[in-house]
Amino acid sequence: MSFITILFYAVSALMIFTAVRTVTAVHVFRSALYLAATLSLVAVQYLLLGAEFVAVVQLLVYVGAVIVLIIFAVMLTAQLGDERISQTNRLALPAALGCGAVFYLMGWALTATDWSKITPAPADPALQGASGNLQAVGLSLLSTYVYPFEIVGLILFTALVGAVLIARKDLEASASTLRPRPEALEGPPKGGEVPQ
């Protein structure tokens, strides 16, 4: 066995271990850290597969941004850090059996399939003349896949605006610049009228 083969098996074993700890850890914060480890190991697998661009994006977006968001949510919701509250429901045994069945079925189906019979995809024009994966993916993003690239940017922008709108403290606060706060009124507020 060469070094890179041993590396593949070591990374895979570590990945399965951290993934199992992600879904079974008692403390949610620890679970988030195990998730960060799993996502970094997936990036290592991308490197082994020769997809450097995807590996870098994986590290930037997942380990850099999504994990920070998850830890933010854990810190904002105080109840999550409490170890005395059970973090799992009573479905652990049926869920484990079901997931084992799903894994068995998928493993059987994909080892029984002869993947070499698939007709090969057309060669990407960006791969000609590009020196390495990073340049090829970068060129392809702005030539062959430019429309999906722009649309995905629009989707991301829309999602960010929606997230800000959902997570805002209260939707009434935006109108408070136009009308006085309820506690400033004398007596109970009457249907949002502006008092003179």
Query: Closest approach of Cβ 84 to another protein, in Å?
Result: 13
Query: Closest approach of Cβ 90 to another protein, in Å?
Result: 9
DSSP code string of 99-165: HHHHHHHHHHHHHHS-GGGSPPPPPPGGGTT--SHHHHHHHHHTTTTHHHHHHHHHHHHHHHHHHHH
Residue 129 contacts another protein per CB under 8 A: no
> For residues 103 and 195, which CB has a smaller minimum distance to another protein in the complex?
103
**What distances in angstroms separate CA 33 from CA 66, 72, 106, 162, one per listed residue?**
12, 12, 28, 27
Residue 156 contacts another protein per CB under 8 A: yes
Residue 37 contacts another protein per CB under 8 A: no
Residue 14 contacts another protein per CB under 8 A: no
Task: Pick from 14, 53, 135, 179 the residue near another protein by CB under 8 A.
Answer: 53
Label residue 43 exposed, middle or buried (CB < 10 Å: 0-12, 13-18, 19+). buried
Residue 154 contacts another protein per CB under 8 A: no
Are 151 and 158 in contact by the 8 Å Cβ rule? The answer is: no
The contact pattern for another protein, residues 159-188, with x = CB under 8 A and - = no contact, is xx-xxx-xx-x-------------------
Taking the C-alpha atoms of residue 75 and residue 78, their distance in angstroms, rounded to an integer, is 6
The contact pattern for another protein, residues 94-113, with x = CB under 8 A and - = no contact, is -xx-xxx-xx--xx--xx--
Question: Considering CB under 8 A, how many residues would be counted as binding another protein?
Answer: 89
> For residues 146 and 185, which CB has a smaller minimum distance to another protein in the complex?
146
SS3 184: helix
Residue 44 contacts another protein per CB under 8 A: no
Label residue 154 exposed, middle or buried (CB < 10 Å: 0-12, 13-18, 19+). exposed
> For residues 160 and 185, which CB has a smaller minimum distance to another protein in the complex?
160
Residue 70 contacts another protein per CB under 8 A: yes
Are 28 and 81 in contact by the 8 Å Cβ rule? The answer is: yes
